[in-house]
Structure 1
Amino acid sequence: MDLNYYRTLIAVADDCPVSASVVPPERGGRLTVAGVQHRMLDGDPHVLTQEDVLFETWLRRQEPGERSANEVARLRDAFFSKPQACLRASPLPKKYGWGLLFDAEGRVALCPMESDAYRRIVEGDGDGVTVLKAMRSRRA
């Protein structure tokens, strides 16, 4: 089953507390989920899919250690055997002002909410890009 988005922008949540994108801070000297995702996407735009980001985020927050390709594949299969929240629930668009822009192949890049590209897409000039809002942090 394919969990990826295609030609889609996950726009910041209506109750996002920032007016411009910010780099997620560490907490207690460790990267948060938002920090892990930001590093992955900031360093490699339009390389990873939603499935890659979800699994890699989980994997990087586990106990460190060397894993064989077979073990990683087994862990990935086990990870996706259970329902997973999509990136609409990511703290990046919910709290830190980062839109998530998926290309035609389902690969994702950060799209800062203050950028011209973000504004154009949200205003409907996104050349066929579907806009979905991130999930709110609190009930309306």
Structure 2
Amino acid sequence: MSYIDTFIRVAEDCPVERGGTPVSERPLLPAHVIQYNLLAGAPYHYNHEELLYQVHVRHKGIPEEDRETRREEIWTELFSKSHPCLRASMLPKKYGWGIHYDTEGKIALYAKESPQYDHFTSGGEAGVKLLNAMRNKRR
């Protein structure tokens, strides 16, 4: 699912008060670490589908040359099934990152303690829909 003009707030039961950098010791990085690396390094560069694709090829360790030559095949296979939106990502659920989709659906991260996060969550940006990230635990 892709959003436009939407801000995903940190989950109500997020265990941190500040946006933290997710890390992993595993050779193949988990999806949330790849999401963070891509979005932190290039705010408003990726839309949801492109982010999913980039996370997928990195997570699966698909070589760069295959990413180019087999892009359409990989893309078609990837999107032949549904995928969760970023409301379910560990970034807003565990690591304290709000997620903004601009008018073109391009994505940027904002730390929970940042003035930009406050700006979006206080309704400071007209026309931006506010959603909560999914909770970590059921009520």
Give yes or no for the alignment of 1:28 onto 2:26.
Answer: yes
Deviation string for 1:27-56 (max 9, x for gaps)? 335532221111100111001001111121
Aligned twin of 1:119? 118
> In structure 2, what residue type is equivalent to 1:46?
Y
The aligned residue for residue 102 of structure 1 is: 101
Instruction: Give the 3-state SS of the residue equivalent to 1:67 in structure 2.
Output: helix
Displacement after TM superposition at 1:64 (Å): 3.7
Q: 2 CA distance for matches of 1:56 and 1:69?
A: 12
TM-score by structure 2 length?
A: 0.92
The match for 1:54 among 52, 64, 73 is 52
Aligned ranges for residues 85-96 of structure 1 at < 5 Å? 85-96=84-95
Q: Deviations over 1:56-93 (max 9, x none)?
A: 11111113423053411111111111111111111111
Count of residue correspondences: 138
SS in 2 for 1:15: coil
Q: What code does the residue aligned with 1:12 have?
A: V
Cα offset, 1:125, TM superposition: 1.9
Aligned identity (percent) is: 37
Q: TM-score, normalised by structure 1?
A: 0.91
The alignment status of 1:14 with 2:12, answered yes or no, reads yes
In the alignment, the residues of structure 2 paired with residue 121 and residue 108 of structure 1 have an alpha-carbon distance, to the nearest angstrom, of: 14
C-alpha RMSD of the superposition? 1.4
Q: Specify every segment of 5 or more residues in structure 1 that has no aligned partner in the other structure, as ranges.
A: none
**1 CA distance for matches of 2:87 and 2:36?**
14
The CA distance in 1 between the partners of 2:77 and 2:27, in whole Å, is 29
**Mean alpha-carbon deviation: is it higher for 119-128 or for 60-69?**
60-69
| More deviation, 59-68/3-12 | 59-68
Query: What amino acid is aligned across from residue 78 of structure 2 in structure 1?
Result: F
Counterpart in the other structure of 1:72: 71
Shift of 1:19: 0.5
